[in-house]
Structure 1
């Protein structure tokens, strides 16, 4: 796997919408994110033609990705946000151009498609850090998110992930300017939960958003034979659509039936998002949702990978704060020390 060269302060970075062109209809978090990129990270964001176009075709969005990789002045690529149809975009990517011009790509959720595509090309990418959600967060980027983003963007080498004891998954309306006056409300949490923490596992990461992974598995898009994942560390997280515990179990069960789960000696499960504007759960309901999801994962592991070490509620994916996980990069999961160290 190749770690692409990192940008430096003053460099240009592409901000693209490979999934949904939400910057065009919800400009407030997008503009806030651009400001943070310029003023706090010292980068020069460059928009491409489809960045603010809701409903842009798959070919138009792929053309932006191809152009961003081809442009020698662009030193990194950051997704504006996710969506639900990036699976239609990746067939139009120019792999020869991307291989010849590897660059750090940041995104998560539906951007699991691009992360996996880059992994198959031998390029390390970065799970996390979208313009509208992390850089454009209401009230400013969370300090823990900002620290991880800076390390992933500008440095190379080991980075020990911080364990958060407060979090938020409550959304503010992005069409209300008042939403950006203060950060979202934070809630206390217990940190990470460990299962089978009796060893140290080192390897490359693979996975992403669990719902998107299930679609990729159904389409047989970019999935290799199970033996290719031997010794890797699986990273999975769920979205604001709040898939049920039963659905989470079924996806993992099917991965087990395919022979995948048993290949991973360790798995990281992101802190589940348990509230959204379309699913306004009470704190008690949110806690039960998270507990039920954990039990669903453990049930699947019991059947298909009983010896696998698992770490629950790691701060990646659809949660705040969010840390960046190198996709295809190296990770060390130290059970006895209860630490997780990635290599940026």
Structure 2
């Protein structure tokens, strides 16, 4: 048994092939019960675009399922030999309560690729400690259920992550979307959403920074990591992250720049932030149904979040290379990031390459 705080060595699970069965689970929230339209659209695309057969579980379409019931679905999916990958329907807000019910050794004995993001950061961090490389991104309702069609970079990244081992280069999106439509309107789901031009990535290369870094990834949704830090769940001894690449993103809850700074400050005080060799920061989600920001407000929010992150790096990791506005997490298009897998960040060539 690996002592607490010391993760197992990483393994990449075997990949599925077209025609295989894949589990669709809701370990964070059973939102398919409330919003069936994008969910059913995502299932259809799994079948027609990726030639995979989705298999649902008792809590996949059920809101209010207990943590034990959701853990039971995960155990069933990991141990079923006919299931070759596991995909989250969507995120949620209480997946941290599921973690105590998970059997680490059972899951490590039956490793499978797991896809999801947002609140699924909890499960990614659990799998990282368990030694199973997972995949941050590509939920059924959001990416597969995107209005109009899947964004081409998202579909290409997901296809590579599902089926093709080896390196995959990320590229700045030419266009991106910030504003979401209604999940209750069939007409809205049939129309391609409006997008705006991308402005490329922004690189932070301080004096003395290592400009070419290759290491394992760790991170995910910043607000979820804050919960894990407070609960002291799935956080390793700081030395375990030496040479790793930290990747972070924020949600449609639009945490304030001050909150972003405080979370990173806490990571710095814990001795975590300086352990990472590089930081990849996802494009900030700048609009939500609760806060429908206009163009100037969206630009200001992104700028102030970047300034907050840079302030934390200056205080706790002044020689750490960082790249901002990468299309990961709550973005559209969205790249799948291997969680616990290998990434190469090349500040000289301004390139990022992940290994699926």
Q: TM-score range by the shorter chain?
A: over 0.9
Deviation at 1:147, TM superposition (A): 0.2
Deviation, 1:57, is 0.7
Q: Structure 2 CA distance, aligned partners of 1:37 and 1:93?
A: 27
Please give the per-residue CA displacement for 1:6-56, whole angstroms capped at 9, x wherever unaligned.
000000000000011000110000000000000000000000000000111
Structure 2 distance, partners of 1:254, 1:93, is 27
State how far apart, in whole Å, the 2-side matches of 1:138 and 1:232 are. Answer: 35
2:321 is matched with 309
- Whole-Å Cα distance in 2 between the matches of residues 304 and 65 of structure 1? 37
Q: State the partner residue of 1:108.
A: 117
Runs of 4+ in 1 over 6 A off after TM superposition: none
Q: Identify unmatched segments of 5+ residues in structure 1.
A: none
Q: Determine whether 1:341 maps to 2:353.
A: yes
8 Å contact 1:204–1:328 — kept in the other structure?
Answer: yes
The match for 1:95 is 104
Q: CA RMSD in A?
A: 0.8
Q: CA deviation at 1:189?
A: 2.2
Q: Partners in 1 of 2:175 and 2:48 — Cα distance?
A: 27
Q: Deviations over 1:291-339 (max 9, x none)?
A: 0000000000011101000000000000000000000000000000000
Rounded to whole Å, the distance in 2 between the matches of 1:318 and 1:303 is 27
Query: Where in structure 2 are there 5+ consecutive unaligned residues?
Result: 1-9
Q: Is the 8 A contact 1:138 1:179 kept in 2?
A: yes
The corresponding residue for 1:44 is 53
For the 8 Å contact 1:242–1:273, the answer to whether it is kept is yes
Residues 1:69 and 2:78 are matched in the alignment? yes
1:122 is matched with 131
* 1:97, distance to aligned residue in structure 2 (A): 1.9
2:4 aligned partner? none
Q: 1:208 aligns with which of 220, 224, 231?
A: 220
Match of 1:55 among 64, 69, 85: 64
Whether 1:3 aligns to 2:3 is no
- Aligned match for 1:252, one of 254, 264, 278: 264
For the pair 1:328 / 2:328, whether they are aligned, the reply is no
1:225-240 alignment, distance < 5 Å: 225-240=237-252
Write the distance in 2 (CA, Å) between the matches of 1:120 and 1:307: 27
Q: 1:143-195: CA deviations, max 9, x gaps?
A: 00000000000010000012113111211010111111112110112110000
Q: Which residue of 2 aligns with 1:222?
A: 234
Residue 96 of structure 1: how far off its partner (Å): 2.4
**8 Å contact kept, 1:169–1:318:** no
How many pairs align? 344
The 3-state SS of whatever aligns with 1:218 is helix
In the alignment, the residues of structure 1 paired with residue 117 and residue 86 of structure 2 have an alpha-carbon distance, to the nearest angstrom, of 13
1:291 aligns with 2:303: yes
Moved more, 49-58 or 191-200: 191-200
Q: Would the aligned equivalents of 2:154 and 2:334 in 1 still touch at CA under 8 Å?
A: yes
Mapped contact 1:238–1:318 kept (Cα < 8 A): yes
What SS does the corresponding residue of 2:312 show, helix, strand or coil?
A: helix
Query: Could you state the TM-score of these two structures normalised by the residue count of structure 2?
Result: 0.96
SS in 2 for 1:52: coil
What is the rounded CA distance, in whole Å, between the counterparts of 1:265 and 1:101 in structure 2? 31
Summarize deviations over 1:234-260 as a string: whole Å, max 9, x none: 000000000000000000011011111
Q: Select which of 37, 44, 50 maps to 1:35.
A: 44
Structure 1 stretch displaced more, 67-76 or 180-189: 180-189
Residues 54-106 of structure 1, C-alpha deviations (whole Å, 9 max, x = no match):
11111111110000001000000000000000000011112222111100000
CA distance in 2, matches of 1:263, 1:241: 28
* SS of residue paired to 1:64: helix
Instruction: Find the residue that maps to 2:54 and give its secondary structure.
Output: strand
Asked if structure 1 preserves the Cα contact closer than 8 Å seen for 2:134 and 2:338, the reply is: yes
TM-score by length of 1: 0.99
Confirm whether residue 26 of structure 1 aligns to residue 35 of structure 2.
yes
Query: Contact between 2:172 and 2:198, CA under 8 Å: does it hold in 1?
Result: no
Q: Post-superposition shift, 1:224?
A: 1.2
